[in-house]
Amino acid sequence: MPGEVKDPSLAEEGWRRIEWARRRMPVLAKIRERFVQEQPLEGICIGMVLHVEAKTAVLVETLVAAGASIAITGCNPLTTQDAVAAALYTLDQVNVYAWRGETTEEYYTNINRVLSHKPSVLVDDGADAIVFAHTRCSEVFENLVGATEETTTGVRRLCAMEREGRLRIPVIDVNDARTKTLFDNRYGTGQSVIDGILRATNVLLAGKTVVVAGYGWCGRGIARRLAGMGARVIVCEVDPVKALEAYMDGFQVMPMRKAAKIGDLFITATGVRDVIRREHFEQMKDGAILANAGHFNVEISISDLEALTVETREVRSCVQEFRLVNGRRLYLLGEGRLVNLVCGDGHPIEVMDMSFANQALSVEYLWRNRGRLEPRVYPVPKEIDEYVARMKLQAFGVEIDELTDEQRAYISDWQMGT
């Protein structure tokens, strides 16, 4: 039986969402065409631990078209779209174990269920599945030839495992492909985080003071788009170079202890825990809104917030009110989890076309090169990254120049200036 979902009768709605996404993912469509011909993943199982929503379903279809069977669960207990899970549940080649609102125990049980299919390749987002395999499910290494990782936080964890000599498989760092980070983390998060916040709250951004913690790939995208909508943006950073960049990009830069007093809306995008904590909540204005864009729900310290709270209630879907001992009310969106996925549909389809094209081609690369790669974190091969960019340009109908032979010779000649 193909797994467990909340409500199989939602399948039709799920297929409509998938169709909407599929039509806007031309790079994956191109890859799928080749996969159907070549069947590069014939007969193997791919384990997937990703946000179970429409774009992910198109990646699932692409891997199925390559001949693989799929075992899939969510990479976050709150981000599964039940209709999409129900649609995947109708496919013979797919085992889906996912529903919105999993308990922590169910979340890990479902990861275990995916691993029990003994996948040959794992596609992970945040590295929970890879870490689980290493610490609690070593049988999986009988079949597993490698994994791919989708996000910054996951890559950080895997690099730490590699440094400590704990990593047992090669992992492709999809996050840092240029056709991923430059678009997904920056434009994707920039747009979808704002979309999630607006859907949850229905507030006006123009004129609001918005504090963005972290001016990395995601933070930059969020800050720029907020500014474009008329918000006054304050950036908090710990890296002096990024802080300087934010300053020269025209944003106010200050520590959170100062920003806490003046912000109307706070957004964390750091990948680090306790970025907003007790001392900051105590300073915040009545009505301040808190949202997180980072991978785990640790950036806004919910335990500190609860410790200061006398009463809590849900005031809108995805919006929790915390009435503090000082009488002020703070509003937490999406339980402090990825606001763009919990309160919205996640990244725009067009950017996930590129991220998931990198995923599909990296899975193929791992399988074709099985036995030849060391247990370490590898970048996405340059040819894959550039192929994805070229296909995307083609889909947009954009042509570019090419170096002439003379130009190529010129830039590789050390005497070029003489």
Ligand X SMILES: NC(=O)c1ccc[n+]([C@@H]2O[C@H](COP(=O)([O-])OP(=O)(O)OC[C@H]3O[C@@H](n4cnc5c(N)ncnc54)[C@H](O)[C@@H]3O)[C@@H](O)[C@H]2O)c1
In the complex, the smallest distance separating the C-beta of residue 291 from ligand X, rounded to whole angstroms, is 10
Question: Is 93:71 a contact under the CB 8 Å cutoff?
Answer: no
In the complex, the smallest distance separating the C-beta of residue 341 from ligand X, rounded to whole angstroms, is 6
Which residue, 55 or 347, is less far from ligand X as judged by CB? 347
| C-alpha distances out from residue 378 to 60, 259, 364, Å | 23, 38, 14
**Which spans of this chain sit near ligand X (rule: CB under 6 A)?**
151-153, 185, 189, 213-219, 236-239, 242, 269-272, 275, 293-295, 338, 340, 347
Query: Cα–Cα distance between 80 and 89 in angstroms, integer?
Result: 13
Of residues 13, 23, 48, the one with CA closest to residue 362: 48
Beta strands in 60-194 (DSSP E): 69-73, 94-98, 121-124, 146-149, 171-173
Strands 319-324 and 329-333: antiparallel
Which residue, 71 or 302, is less far from ligand X as judged by CB? 302
Question: Is 372:146 a contact under the CB 8 Å cutoff?
Answer: no
Which residue, 45 or 259, is less far from ligand X as judged by CB? 259
Which residue, 69 or 148, is less far from ligand X as judged by CB? 148
Which residue, 176 or 364, is less far from ligand X as judged by CB? 176
Which residue, 41 or 291, is less far from ligand X as judged by CB? 291
Which residue, 146 or 219, is less far from ligand X as judged by CB? 219
> Sign (positive/negative) of CA torsion 158, 162, 164, 168?
positive
In the complex, the smallest distance separating the C-beta of residue 89 from ligand X, rounded to whole angstroms, is 25
Of residues 122, 113, 123, the one with CA closest to residue 145: 122
Q: How many CB atoms lie within 10 A of CB 234?
A: 22
Partnered with residue 47 across adjacent β-strands are: 71, 122
Q: Two tokens at 63?
A: 């891997």
DSSP structure class, residue 338: B
Strands 209-213 and 121-124: unpaired
Q: What is the dihedral of CA 22, 58, 74, 140, to 10 degrees?
A: -170
In the complex, the smallest distance separating the C-beta of residue 129 from ligand X, rounded to whole angstroms, is 15
Which residue, 11 or 193, is less far from ligand X as judged by CB? 193
Of residues 205, 184, 183, the one with CA closest to residue 194: 205
In the complex, the smallest distance separating the C-beta of residue 184 from ligand X, rounded to whole angstroms, is 6
Which value, in Å, is the radius of gyration of the alpha carbons in the chain?
A: 22
In the complex, the smallest distance separating the C-beta of residue 293 from ligand X, rounded to whole angstroms, is 4
Host H or E run for residue 234: strand 232-236
In the complex, the smallest distance separating the C-beta of residue 132 from ligand X, rounded to whole angstroms, is 18
Which residue, 46 or 236, is less far from ligand X as judged by CB? 236
In the bound state, the residue with its beta carbon closest to ligand X is 216
In the complex, the smallest distance separating the C-beta of residue 410 from ligand X, rounded to whole angstroms, is 34
Which residue, 3 or 219, is less far from ligand X as judged by CB? 219
